Structures are given as structure tokens and as C-alpha cells.
Structure 1
């Protein structure tokens, strides 16, 4: 069935107007929030949520919610009770994901558990207590290849230890001796340590600010030490 010309024209006009209305709405939210809360003058993105009248305000990977005019601001999780989903958590997971192929694997050393068919990347500081706890739990996992990225972010001693580990003849043994057995690394650490600098640059680019930070093969990022059961669940996803 062919629609009358006037009907088609009206529909076309509506379709063209929608982006303009959305743009005006976004501009209003940006303007009001920036004027009222100067810290929100650097908003990266404003988008509609599945909830009518509620908009997502994204700054980096931080999410806030507001109404169509920026009169109210909500901080917290948006839950879909019907689908039983945490929409905020899912959105942050997507925003913080890192494509595994983008990892600078040349700047890591590896350990293979079992067949090593699964993959995991871990960003760690040698003086991180949570990292040491995670390393003990990691020893109980099977069938995974782990890529260790040293990022010395906890002070000058972390820099020294990271250099000593990276420059040792057997990086993995030196790492495990320190993290699992409290045998301190030795040596001058005077080899080429550009890899450590590049790791820190990568961490800064992707906002990896704490250790350990885990990156799974599907790109999901999990900050903090998780136990063996949680690690296995994530590897199996």
C-alpha cells in the first residue's frame, strides 16, 4: 500500500526532527550540569537509558544519571528488575573492556598451567599485598596461560624490584620466588627496561589504576584480587 504524499512528508519531517530534538536535549543537559556543577564540564557522552526520561552521563568510565534537563543527578546502579540485570554494571564492563589482541604481550612474561589453552593477562606490582594473595590462588588453576605485566606503581622500591625481576635470567622463577616464597629479587636491574615504561603507559591509557587487574580473553576487566572459584568462573565464561 502506498501512503499519501502528505503522510509520507509528515513521517519524513518527524524522522528528520528526532536527531535535532535529541541534540537540543543533550545540549540542555550539558549546559545545566556544567553551570551548576563545574566538575561536570567535561562530559564525554550523554545517552538515553531504557528507563523513560532517564539519561546516562558518562565521564570516562564513570556513569551518572539525570533527567532531560539536568535538574537532578543520580549516582548508583540502574537495575532492570524485569530482566534481572544490573545495567550499570554491564555498561561499565563494556566501557572498560580491553581487546586481548591490543595487549603488548612482548612486555610480559608467561606461565603455563596445564595445557594452557585459556588465556589471562594480569597487571601487578611486586609490592602489592593483594597481588601476592592472588598469586597463591592462581597456583590452583589449571589449563591457562598467564601473561604477567609488571607495573611498578607503589613507590621507588616497586620500581627497583620490577627492574630486578625483568632483568633476571629467569623472570618467572624470580617473580614466583618473591611473590610466593618471599625470596627477594637480586641484581642491578640494569638491562633495557623499556617494557616497564611501556606497561605503565598502557596502564595510564586504559586507566588501569590498581593491582592486580585481570584481563580475560574476551576483553573483560576485573579489578582486584579474586579467589580461585571466582577466577575459574571468569575463565569459563
Structure 2
């Protein structure tokens, strides 16, 4: 019996090594073939990661935060969403959420101003442009949410006037009130006071956004690092805050 068990263990070990070798060979083939072909297609390189997907014969290829799919030899390339129809899951969406997650504790909060409602126990970071229509819609929804701390990052990306308005808000004595006046009550923010107000935080916010591919406003970052783009209803926002806790 002992020799039989040792035989099975040896067989399993051998099988594992063979499978590992096959997987390594497939990854090497994908890296070699796509590495040669991607530049010809105008695609970014190099390949950062190759992983097997739940779908037989299909591999995920990650280049930065872009996700592609290919066969075992890198002869075909897909750029789209992979859906698990049995479990009703969007695997690509879930993967992108992990790739684009932002560590909340590493947010540069010195470049944001803070609005606290109620006990402020729940936390969220918002990247918003003062000329963003969807941001205004979302701000009106936020008026219905209590017990939250909002770290507001001014993110002027919609044009020169967005930068002007952002500077005026950032240089106001009460940034939170100036922001709410404009976004909720349509009260124009007065020009920035005397020169000397340091607005380099706005430049750093845009640089941070480029680094983390924040391409639209509003963008919401929750305490668990997950983020979403676009205006959502107060009820959905409450749900997301609860999940992040």
C-alpha cells in the first residue's frame, strides 16, 4: 500500500510539472507572438501579465490597465467583455474594478477639501468638475445623504472655465459652501480673493487623475478602494457606502 501511495504521489507530481510546463510554454508563446505583433497594430507594449480565463483555450492579456483576450498561441486578439452566463457575471468588469481600484489611504487628501454631514463615519472621495452637468445632478442627490465625510477633489478637465471656477472655489474662505452654492444653488462663485492663493493642488489632482485613468466626472472612490464613474441616485450611493464599510 505504501509503495502504491508513493506511486500515486509521484504520478500526481509529474502531472503537475507537465501541466505547469505546458502553461509556461503557452504563456511564452503568447508573449513572443503578441509581443512581435502588437507594435504593428499600434497597440501598447510590453505585456504585463498573461493568465488563463475560465473559458477553455482563452487567455487574458493585461497591458497596463487594458485587458485583452487571446488564444494559446497569440494568433487572435479580442478586446471586449467576457461574460459568465451561468453565474450572470461580467468577468471583464470585475477584473477592471480590481485593476482600477485606488487605495483610499493613499489618496492625497491635502489636495481636497472636506464636507462632513452628520457623524461623518462613512467616507468617500469625489472627483468633480464644476462645469459637469452630471456632477450637479449628483450633488443634488447627495443632499439626501447623511452621516458621511466627503473628500472633494476639484478636477477641472472640461475646459479653461472649469479651471477658473475650480480656482475660485479652492481659494474661497469656505470651500465647501462655495462649492455647494455653485453646484446646488447655481450661485456664481466670486472671483478668487487677493493673489497668493496656492492652486497647484488642481494641477496635482489632474496628474493623479491621469495616473489612475480618471477620465470622466463625477468619479467616486469608496473606502474599500472601489470606484464608479457617473451620477448615481442617493439610494444607490447609500448602498455603495454600506458595501464599502
What TM-score, normalized by structure 2, do the two folds share?
A: 0.86
Q: Residue 211 of structure 1: SS of its match in structure 2?
A: coil
1:182-228 deviation digits (Å, cap 9, x = unpaired): 21212336401122122112111111111110001111010111122
Q: Residue 42 of structure 2: SS of its match in structure 1?
A: helix
Q: Residue 68 of structure 2: SS of its match in structure 1?
A: strand
Name the residue aligned to 1:205. Answer: 211
Structure-2 separation of matches of 1:121 and 1:199: 12
Pairs aligned (count): 237
Q: Residue 40 of structure 1: SS of its match in structure 2?
A: coil
Residue 57 (str. 1) matches residue 83 (str. 2): no
1:61-109 deviation digits (Å, cap 9, x = unpaired): 2222111112333333222233332211211111111111011111111
In 1, are the aligned partners of 2:116 and 2:150 still within 8 Å (CA)? yes
| 1:100-139 correspondence runs (5 A) | 100-139=104-143
What TM-score, normalized by structure 1, do the two folds share?
A: 0.89
Structure-1 separation of matches of 2:106 and 2:208: 10
Name the residue aligned to 1:39. Answer: 42
In 2, are the aligned partners of 1:30 and 1:41 still within 8 Å (CA)? no
Contiguous gaps of at least 5 residues in structure 2: none
Residue 220 (str. 1) matches residue 213 (str. 2): no
Structure-2 separation of matches of 1:102 and 1:18: 40
Structure-1 separation of matches of 2:103 and 2:36: 37
1:117-136 deviation digits (Å, cap 9, x = unpaired): 11110001111111111111
1:233 to 218, 239, 243: 239
In 1, are the aligned partners of 2:44 and 2:63 still within 8 Å (CA)? no
Cα displacement (A) at 1:20: 4.5
Q: Residue 89 of structure 1: SS of its match in structure 2?
A: helix
Q: Residue 208 of structure 1: SS of its match in structure 2?
A: coil
Structure-2 separation of matches of 1:207 and 1:3: 56
For the aligned residue pairs, the C-alpha RMSD in angstroms reads 2.3
Structure-2 separation of matches of 1:111 and 1:2: 70
Cα displacement (A) at 1:35: 4.3
Residue 140 (str. 1) matches residue 144 (str. 2): yes
